[in-house]
Amino acid sequence: MPTAARSIVYVDGFNLYYGAVRGGPHKWLDLQKYFSMLRPDDQIQRIWYFTALIDGSHRRNQETYPQALDSLPLVEVVLGKYKYKSVKCTVPACEFTGTREFQVPEEKRSDVNIAIQMLDDAYAGLADRMILVSGDSDLVPAIHLVKERCPAINVTVYVPSRSRKRGAAVEIRSAADKNKTLPLNLLARCQLPNPVRGGVSGQIYKPTTW
């Protein structure tokens, strides 16, 4: 009987949220259960989850979910950061007479963190397959380098998307050996318990707004 392929999963949390779970009831996602169901023939070694915590009213929810993921033995959370940048209003019809610039948060480091981790795992010989969950074309060079230096590794991209436009992701799909749209029908079957055991208090509760 053939040995199951060793697989490592890399999840772009920003892409997963906006492409698959935002606005729905399935944000409390058990990544370990989900990918075990999605890839039943793989021997999953690690699930890397990359995200960043934004300041403001939603930060507490954002902090709670990574804490819950820490209870899963295969999941490793890697935090980037948000940096604010100035954006100038370019709407011609805007009649506001004050400053036309405003601050917006921009996620930083997550794509670099993903790329570095993929290359590190590739050079260390830790995987036969890499499963990348993202539609971000910034990750294309990392895929190309993995394929160039470690051609035996099979790279599969799952694009999280509810819309055809967002799900096109032509560049990153073309870079991978295989590409698929992330199945949304598994989300409801792969939710974490509420509460999750862990944290300072011993129990981590799903945010009430989720």
- Determine, yes or no, domain membership for 208: no
- Determine, yes or no, domain membership for 209: no
- Determine, yes or no, domain membership for 104: yes
Range of the structural domain that residue 22 is part of? 5-202
With tokens 């999840």, the residue in question is 11
Using 50, 70 and 90 to split pLDDT, how confident is the model at 82?
low
- Determine, yes or no, domain membership for 171: yes
pLDDT (0 to 100) of residue 108? 59
- Determine, yes or no, domain membership for 99: yes
pLDDT (0 to 100) of residue 194? 97
pLDDT in tens, 176-185: 999 999 999 9
Contact 51, 64 (CB under 8 A): no
Two structure tokens written together for 91: 């709407």
- Cβ atoms < 10 Å from Cβ of 99: 9
Helix (H, G, I), strand (E, B) or coil at 135: coil
pLDDT in tens, 121-147: 999 999 999 999 999 999 999 999 999
Say which range, 46-55, 77-86, 121-130, has the weakest mean pLDDT.
77-86
What's at 79, amino acid-wise?
L
The domain tally of the chain equals 1
Mean pLDDT value of segment 18-22: 95
- Determine, yes or no, domain membership for 155: yes
Say which range, 37-41, 114-118, 119-123, 163-167, has the weakest mean pLDDT.
163-167
- Averaged pLDDT score across all residues of the chain: 89
DSSP alpha helix (H) spans, the chain: 13-16, 31-38, 59-69, 110-123, 140-149, 164-168, 170-175
- Determine, yes or no, domain membership for 72: yes
Q: Looking at residue 159, which CATH number applies to its domain? A: 3.40.50.1010
- Determine, yes or no, domain membership for 16: yes
- Cβ atoms < 10 Å from Cβ of 26: 16
- Torsion angles phi and psi, residue 8, rounded to 5: -125, 135
The one-character DSSP state at 199 is S
pLDDT (0 to 100) of residue 95? 65
Dist. CA 169–CA 159, nearest whole Å:
7
